[in-house]
Chains A and B, each alone.
Chain A
Amino acid sequence: MVAPVARPHALREDRAWTLLQEVKDPEIPTVSVLELGLIRSVKQGPAAILVELMPTFLGCPAIEAMQQMIREQLAELGTIDVKLVTDEPWTTSRITEQGREKLRCSGFAPPPRGDSLELHVLQPHARCPYCDSSDTMLESSFGPTLCRAVHYCKACRSPFEQFKAI
């Protein structure tokens, strides 16, 4: 029988991933940074655990708050270094199925699927998170935060927000 390959850091890294599930987006506190696909990697280094955080938008003011929250949440594991990733764009396709469902339950339409570099993906008839109608219109691509657009549902006459495709 072959012995399993020793991964001395695996336990600590696994623990970090578990703890990260409790770090929520400060602007949408029902959804975790994992469900939004914001964590690229977690690695135990010689002196610290390195967490790679992918910003949704580069100007997102929640970035620093999230770095701080991650350091605090993972404090039991020692020094935590939260590095921002800029060599790979975060895109809305990184949001997990569970994340999409939680967004919907919080009153946000999940982002449209597909490559957001295609223009038709950006102006969809978003499905209303309240009544599920597609009879909706995009009111403004710019909402209360950089990652949200404002729509209006003509069926139930409710304004709602959608996570922007990026």
Chain B
Amino acid sequence: MIDEKLVPLLMALADDELVLGYRDSEWTGIAPLLEEDVALSSMAQDEIGHARMFYEMVSGILDKSPDSIALGREPSGFHHCRLVERPRGDWAYSMARQFLYDAADGVRLEMLTRSTHKPLALGVAKVIREEKYHRMHGESWIGKLAHGTDESHRRLEAALLQLWPDLPGFFEPVEGEAELVKAGVLPEPFSALLPRWWQVVEPVLARHGLHGPNLGLNAFSDHSGYGGREGRHSEDFVKLWNEMTLVYGVDPEAVW
């Protein structure tokens, strides 16, 4: 398999983590509890670290620096899913997104450990060890908000409903997916992960009384939340992009 064919996949993986990392970092200094300020800042650092590993892999293929790959692109050159680019919202929204994303990322990483592209399979094994702390964190907040006060429960439900239409976009195919599947770089198409994601999410929602007709696989409409993997993003991302590339854009050649 020609390495260049791997680029869209690696970029999708990297961009998801980079953009979510930026969103997490927006809580630095303003999270509702000191411990959570530290937690979100740490998770942001983790996600950006994971993104860096994937950008390094791209860097080896395209012979460009990881920084220029990450930040030297127009918004339409990013391949993250729309789910991660939405503004952080309230605490319930950020926690619900983290929980739903981590569950999806978890089944994706598990699949990638079976990739025929060895550097990828071995690299994600490292990421899995770090992500388990994020999963524990997200799950515990689903419980805390669901059983906290009427307001926290109401906010959590509202967040889940708001997030739902964006979720299928996580599983949107990447460019050249059929070929990647054929070569075993992707052991399965991304759409095959959706039921496994639900197997992880459903029991947690059910346990906390968050089950409903509008929160389930049947509530997804076809291709809802799609576009991100093709570089079609919302206005939300354009604003974020302006911010996250501001310093880089001042002097892309600067040595730090």
Q: Which residues of A contact B (CB under 8 A)?
A: 57-61, 86-91, 116-117, 119, 122-123, 139-144, 146, 150, 164, 166
Are the CB atoms of B129 and A117 closer together than 8 Å?
yes
Are the CB atoms of B126 and A58 closer together than 8 Å?
yes
User: Which of B125, B130, B132 is close to A57, meaning CB atoms less than 8 Å apart?
Assistant: B130
Tally B residues with Cβ within 8 Å of A. Answer: 29
Shortest Cβ gap from B145 to chain A (Å): 17
The 6 closest A-B pairs by CB, nearest first: A59-B49, A58-B49, A142-B39, A89-B126, A87-B122, A59-B45
Are the CB atoms of A86 and B53 closer together than 8 Å?
yes
Q: Contacts of B46 on A, CB cut-off 8 Å? A: 57-59, 146
Chain B residues 179-204 with CB under 8 Å of chain A are: none
Nearest B residue to A143 via CB reads: B38
Q: Contacts of B45 on A, CB cut-off 8 Å? A: 57, 59, 61, 146
* Interface SS of chain A: loop
Contact A142/B130 with A59-B52, A60-B49, A122-B136 known, Cβ cut-off 8 Å:
no
* Interface SS of chain B: helix
Q: How far is the CA of A117 from the CA of B129 in the complex (A)?
A: 7
* Residue of B47, B48, B52, B118 with highest tally of chain A CB at under 10 A: B52
User: Which of A87, A123, A139, A164 is close to B123, meaning CB atoms less than 8 Å apart?
Assistant: A87
> Does B35 sit at the interface, judged by CB under 8 A?
yes
Q: Contacts of B153 on A, CB cut-off 8 Å? A: none
Shortest Cβ gap from B115 to chain A (Å): 13
Q: Contacts of A57 on B, CB cut-off 8 Å? A: 45-46, 49, 130
Q: Contacts of A140 on B, CB cut-off 8 Å? A: 35, 38-39
Shortest Cβ gap from B119 to chain A (Å): 6
Are the CB atoms of A86 and B42 closer together than 8 Å?
no
Q: How far is the CA of A123 from the CA of B122 in the complex (A)?
A: 26
Q: Contacts of B53 on A, CB cut-off 8 Å? A: 58, 86
